[in-house]
Amino acid sequence: MALVEVRQLQVAFGEKTAVSAASFAIEKGETFSLIGESGCGKSTILRVLAGLHRQWRGEVTLLGEQLSSGERFTGALRRNVQMVFQDPWASLHPNHTISRTLTEPLKIHGETQITQTVADALQQVGLSADAGQRYPHQLSGGQRQRVAIARALLLRPQLLLLDEPTSALDMSVQAEILNLLNRLKQQHGMTYLLVSHDADVIAHMSDRAAFMAHGQIQRVFDREAMQHGEHRMG
């Protein structure tokens, strides 16, 4: 059974339709990507699946649970679906140390062994334990994105939503973060939904990719098609 099933998803912001009729499914353990120009509806779909945008129409099944428009994520769904944003600045509190930022979700979910879990999380994303005592402004962009990934992975989610996770980074750092994400996916058996406008990132990361335009999915590419560059739609 697919981990994610979306049928005829529609999302509107007032008079503007952001997603008009999107349908796709994501199998457990795969990296499925959405590619297309800015404004085509990619990130809106991600926000629906993250529970951040709750007004939509259609059918969405996530981790075997059918979602209802307007409802907040609770329980296992809230824990098992995590998101990494394009700009880690937006998701890291400027006045909290990295350690505090990583500790809070563990406390909320009643975890024990918090200090060790935080240390392990930092190590997994290639940061030293003393990074936990720093503030976001004391880290580079690549380091901040590693912290954002560490926080998303703390609760061992089944589904990780990635919204342009490397587009704000230098090319050399981009490659490091993408390789890190691939390694962590293998280690933890996660499923990824990746949004990007970068055809190289899509080809490097994806098992399948869907090209979006005008709020609709126009075509889905398998790995072979991407290796032939067919996903480079102009």
What pTM does this model have?
0.93
Angstrom distance (rounded) from CA 225 to CA 97: 44
Range list of H helices, the chain: 42-49, 75-80, 88-91, 98-108, 114-124, 141-153, 171-188, 199-205, 223-227
Strand partners, 59: 7
Look up tokens 């809070």; give the residue: 104
Angstrom distance (rounded) from CA 90 to CA 218: 31
CB count within 10 Å of CB 46 equals 21
Angle (CA) 162 167 173, round 5°: 100
What integer pLDDT is reported at residue 27 of this predicted model? Answer: 96
In DSSP notation, 101-168 reads HHHHHHHHTT-S-HHHHHHHHHHHTT--GGGGGS-GGGS-HHHHHHHHHHHHHTT--SEEEEESTTTT
What's the CATH number for 4-95+156-227?
3.40.50.300
Angstrom distance (rounded) from CA 151 to CA 92: 10
Q: Where are the domains of the chain?
A: 4-95+156-227
What integer pLDDT is reported at residue 206 of this predicted model? Answer: 96
Q: Which residues contact 156 (CB under 8 A, 6 or more apart)?
A: 188
Per-residue confidence in pLDDT tens, the chain, 234 aa: 799 999 999 999 999 999 999 999 999 999 999 998 888 899 999 999 999 999 999 999 999 999 999 999 988 898 899 999 988 777 789 999 999 999 998 998 888 899 999 999 999 999 998 999 999 999 999 999 999 999 998 888 999 999 999 988 888 899 999 999 999 999 999 999 999 988 999 999 999 999 999 899 999 999 999 988 899 865
Angstrom distance (rounded) from CA 96 to CA 189: 31
Angstrom distance (rounded) from CA 28 to CA 2: 6
What integer pLDDT is reported at residue 4 of this predicted model? Answer: 97
**Radius of gyration in angstroms for the set of CA atoms belonging to the chain, rounded to a whole number:** 17
